[in-house]
Amino acid sequence: MSAERPPLHVLMVLESAFPANRGGGAESQVRTLAKALRARRQRVTVLTPLTPLGPQQRVGRVDGVPVVRLPYPRVRLLGGPWLWLRTAAFLWSRRQRYDVWHVHIAHYLGAVCALLGPWLRVPVLVKVSGWWELDRGTLAEHASPLASLARRCLLRVDAWQSISQRITAALIARGVPATRIVALANAVDSARFSAIKRSASGAGARFIFVGRLVPEKGLQTLIDAFAALLHQFPDAHLRIVGTGPLLATLTQLCHQHGIAGHVEFAGHREDVETLLAQADFGVLPSHIEGLSNTLLECMAAGLPMLASRVSGSEDLVRDAFNGWLFEPADCDGLVRALLAAAALTPAARDAMGQCARDSVARHAGIDGVLDRLLHLYRSGGVVDLRSAATSNRSL
């Protein structure tokens, strides 16, 4: 019988506050993966900047996972290079400690990892967490000279994690060899949502949006479309969960439409499972996404999804099977989807919700993602994994 493999020690590198204050897609994924890897007896450390808006402890723990936060001066033109040097020093001083560096945002700290990884013989996996990196960040087609230099460094990494077909195509277009791209979705803890029992409602269809109240989420289109829906289904209800700079604008828009009594602004909530149990359909009208955690969680909770045709959503949602797709900012298309959803019988809605749950479990269930990720860490694209024992390694 073969000996059990020693646990890996994974360094997850994140270029933002951790844990995030009130959400954050990449941050939520790091937390989900780190917690799940730890449950499988793997070792994980998270490296992140010490940002003004996040926790201020330089070393702490989140869900039992060690977190190292690197301080840097908040001075324009100095803070960034200082942080990059601090990151390089950290990686150098602990070059024998971690088996793999998993970068969760393809930006400047990722470039530092990409530059040092081959030299220190540490495998590097870089994940593109969202469309921002490809549109405005280091991977943008018309990036600044500094961002272009960072991109050249990033192209040295062992493997890229792509969370959607659209991101895969964009990476290839930007010069990343297809052989180094691994299609691996964001993960959702399906068990966390599988026990949800949908509460009955004697009223009309209940729609829910969960996310930041920012322009790129397309919420003004959602409210306009929902106002149109109410002409035919006056008992429908929309709950908007989250906070952001558009709260006052969106509230005013509801009053202008005369639908304030049908739209609830619930603010930031931690009990997302409870809220999803009180809904019939999830709505995600975003203009851009990578692969939305909201999409995954709604579908895992058995909610058919009304989603714009953007990165990630278009890979999971199939019209009239587990939801409906519409073009970003297409109010008429969203109205048609809302009308189709509101017209479903409870039995048809439940059947579509089960299809949504099955689809997300196959595509992004935590167990399947972890199996593939651990294989990737050890061999699949990250080919130079060091064989040194890890039992004596620490934070």
Helix, strand or coil, per DSSP, at residue 14: coil
Residue 110 pLDDT exceeds 60: yes
Do 138 and 204 reside in the same domain of the chain? no
Q: Alpha carbon of 187 to those of 31, 225, 268: distances in Å?
A: 11, 30, 22
Domain that holds residue 31: 9-187+366-378
At residue 383, the pLDDT reads: 39
At residue 286, the pLDDT reads: 97
At residue 388, the pLDDT reads: 29
Residue 375: count other Cβ atoms within 10 Å of its Cβ: 13
Do 301 and 374 reside in the same domain of the chain? no
At residue 34, the pLDDT reads: 97
Q: Is 383 inside a domain boundary?
A: no
Helix, strand or coil, per DSSP, at residue 240: strand
What's the chain's average pLDDT? 92
Do 28 and 83 reside in the same domain of the chain? yes
Band of residue 265 on the pLDDT scale cut at 50, 70, 90: very high
Q: CA nearest 117: which of 69, 162, 68, 156?
A: 156
Q: Is 244 exposed, middle or buried (0-12, 13-18, 19+ CB in 10 A)?
A: middle
Do 128 and 38 reside in the same domain of the chain? yes
pLDDT, average across residues 6-18 = 95
Q: Is 388 inside a domain boundary?
A: no
- The rounded distance, in Å, linking the Cα atoms of 238 and 261 is 10
Do 39 and 145 reside in the same domain of the chain? yes
Do 112 and 65 reside in the same domain of the chain? yes
pLDDT, average across residues 58-71 = 97
Long-range contacts of 317-322 (CB under 8 A, 24+ apart): 318/359, 320/352, 321/352, 321/355, 322/352, 322/353, 322/355, 322/356, 322/359
Q: What is the CATH number of the domain that holds 132?
A: 3.40.50.2000
Q: Is 3 inside a domain boundary?
A: no
Do 173 and 258 reside in the same domain of the chain? no
Do 175 and 246 reside in the same domain of the chain? no
The answer, as to whether pTM is greater than 0.75, is: yes
Higher pLDDT, 194 or 50: 50
- The rounded distance, in Å, linking the Cα atoms of 360 and 316 is 7
Domain total of the chain? 2
Residue 246 pLDDT exceeds 70: yes
Q: Is 183 inside a domain boundary?
A: yes
Q: Is 6 exposed, middle or buried (0-12, 13-18, 19+ CB in 10 A)?
A: middle
Q: Is 121 inside a domain boundary?
A: yes
Q: CA nearest 30: which of 48, 54, 49?
A: 48
Do 78 and 168 reside in the same domain of the chain? yes
Residue 381 pLDDT exceeds 70: no
pLDDT 10s digits, 167-213 = 999 999 999 999 999 999 999 998 888 877 777 767 899 999 999 99
Higher pLDDT, 132 or 166: 166
Strands 263-267 and 237-241: parallel
Higher pLDDT, 390 or 315: 315
Do 54 and 135 reside in the same domain of the chain? yes
Which residues, listed in sequence order, are joined to residue 103 by a DSSP beta bridge?
Answer: 13, 126
Percentage of the chain with pLDDT > 70? 94
pLDDT 10s digits, 114-134 = 999 999 999 999 999 888 889
Q: What 8-state DSSP symbol labels residue 200?
A: P
Do 183 and 194 reside in the same domain of the chain? no
pLDDT, average across residues 54-64 = 95
pLDDT 10s digits, 298-349 = 999 999 999 999 999 999 999 999 999 999 999 999 999 999 999 999 999 9
Residue 149 pLDDT exceeds 90: yes
Q: Alpha carbon of 332 to those of 313, 325, 328, 336: distances in Å?
A: 19, 12, 11, 6
At residue 392, the pLDDT reads: 31
Which residues, listed in sequence order, are joined to residue 43 by a DSSP beta bridge?
Answer: 9
Q: Is 392 inside a domain boundary?
A: no
Do 47 and 171 reside in the same domain of the chain? yes
pLDDT, average across residues 140-151 = 92
Residue 15 pLDDT exceeds 60: yes
Percentage of the chain with pLDDT > 90? 84
Q: Is 158 inside a domain boundary?
A: yes
Q: Is 200 inside a domain boundary?
A: yes
Residue 379 pLDDT exceeds 90: no
